[in-house]
Amino acid sequence: MEKAIKRYFPIFVLPTMIAFFIGFIAPFVYGIFLSFCKFTTVVDWEWVGFSNYTRIFYVNGKLDTTFLHSLWYTTLFTAVSVLIINIVSFSIAMALTKGIKGTNIFRTVFFMPNLIGGIVLSYIWLMLFNSVLAHFSKTIVSTQWYAFWGLIIVVCWQQIGYMMIIYVAGIQNIPGDLIEAAKIDGANNLQLLRNVTLPMLMPTITVCTFLTLTNGFKLFDQNLALTGGNPGKMSQLLALNIYDTMYGTTGWQGVGQAKAVIFFILVALIALAQNKLSTSKEVQS
């Protein structure tokens, strides 16, 4: 039986492979190819070599810092949002697994923001922010830091509920006898958290940090709707910067594509490193 499956493996896997090829591999490879071309529509290209890549950083013989700015701005944004989202959602998850009254209602309420689309959500928050900030003669795009914290608040509000659900599932999976044994051995709450709960939760933490990390790097909707990259292009995250290059600057489609390739390599490297780091900390009970 197993032998037969092995023999017909290519046939069974073929439909999926074809779909995967059409949906991912082909556009991906073609995308990398296009990053070395000058093109207006994707069927009309002209090979230009690495000039798209140099034009990301050098424009008219001068250093262009827009991309570098959005790179560190995005990195900072991701770092802050990963920290806040994970710490807060873990705390809420801990609180909501203690069996207090109304746990289900709380969980539902915290999860709800995640069901609203990013654009709609951001426009609603935009109104809220601006009507409050108007009292101080400021707006959400007054400086890049107002925009930064605005984005952080919106993204946290949206994602904390989602991560909370994953943490809740993880916490509930910790065997009760393990905790009981630790308690009998005289562990206090802090020791219980540090030596039992956290190590047992490492797989969950891997998933949650991975999700928040990549979500942070590729954030687009909220950026577009909440700040639009203003003031200037100072609050442009990477994804918006690429979009802007692609469609905003004449003849720069290739440069936008080159930025997208760099973006991919960067996100892939960080995601792999993060994955390796946190999986190495996982333990077996």
Partner 1 sequence: MKRKLLSVILSSAMAVTLLTGCGGGSSTPDAAADTSSEAAESTVEESAESTEDTGAAAAEEEAAAAPAGDGSVYLLNFKPESDQQWKDLAAIYTEQTGVEVNVLTAAEGTYSTTLQAELAKDEAPTIFNIGNVTAAQTWNDYTYDLSGTALYDHLSDKSLVINYDGKVAAVANCYECYGIIYNKTILNDYCSVEGAVISSVDDIKDFATLKAVAEDINNRVDEINDALGTNLTGAFASAGLDSGSSWRFSGHLAGVALYYEFLDAGCDLVAGQGEIEGKYLDNFKNVWDMYVSTSSADPKTLEGGTYNAEMEFGMGEAVFFQNGNWEYAALTNPDNGYEVTDEDLGMMPIYFGVDDANEGLCVGTENYWAVNSKASEEDIAATLAFLEWVITSDEGRNSITNEMGLSAPFDTFTGDYESENAFVRDNNKYMADGKTAVAWSFNATPNVDDWRADVVAALTAYTNGSGDWDAVKTAFVDGWATQWQLAEEAK
Q: Which residues contribute to the site for partner 1 (CB under 8 A)?
A: 22-24, 26-28, 30-31, 34, 38, 40-44, 59-60, 126-127, 130-131, 133-134, 137-143, 210, 214, 217-218, 228-234, 239, 242, 244, 246-253, 257, 260-261, 263-264, 267-268, 271-272, 275-276, 279
Q: How far apart are CA 236 and CA 202, in angstroms?
A: 33
User: Taking the complex as a whole, how short is the minimal distance between the CB of residue 104 and partner 1, in angstroms?
Assistant: 31
Q: How far apart are CA 238 and CA 251, in angstroms?
A: 19
User: Taking the complex as a whole, how short is the minimal distance between the CB of residue 221 and partner 1, in angstroms?
Assistant: 12
Q: How far apart are CA 278 and CA 273, in angstroms?
A: 9
User: Taking the complex as a whole, how short is the minimal distance between the CB of residue 279 and partner 1, in angstroms?
Assistant: 6
Cβ closest to partner 1, residue 183 vs residue 218? 218
Cβ closest to partner 1, residue 187 vs residue 211? 211
Cβ closest to partner 1, residue 114 vs residue 214? 214
Cβ closest to partner 1, residue 110 vs residue 146? 146
38 φ, ψ (degrees, to nearest 5): -100, 125
How many CB atoms are closer than 10 A to CB 127? 11
User: Taking the complex as a whole, how short is the minimal distance between the CB of residue 231 and partner 1, in angstroms?
Assistant: 5
Sequence-separated (6 or more) residues with CB below 8 Å from residue 93: 164, 167, 168, 170, 171
Question: For residue 180, what are the CA distances in angstroms to 14, 91, 99, 171?
Answer: 50, 21, 16, 14
User: Taking the complex as a whole, how short is the minimal distance between the CB of residue 93 and partner 1, in angstroms?
Assistant: 22
| Pairing assessment for the beta strands 37-39 and 45-47 based on DSSP bridges | antiparallel
User: Taking the complex as a whole, how short is the minimal distance between the CB of residue 208 and partner 1, in angstroms?
Assistant: 14
Cβ closest to partner 1, residue 191 vs residue 249? 249
Q: How far apart are CA 204 and CA 165, in angstroms?
A: 11
Cβ closest to partner 1, residue 26 vs residue 109? 26
User: Taking the complex as a whole, how short is the minimal distance between the CB of residue 45 and partner 1, in angstroms?
Assistant: 10
Cβ closest to partner 1, residue 114 vs residue 278? 278
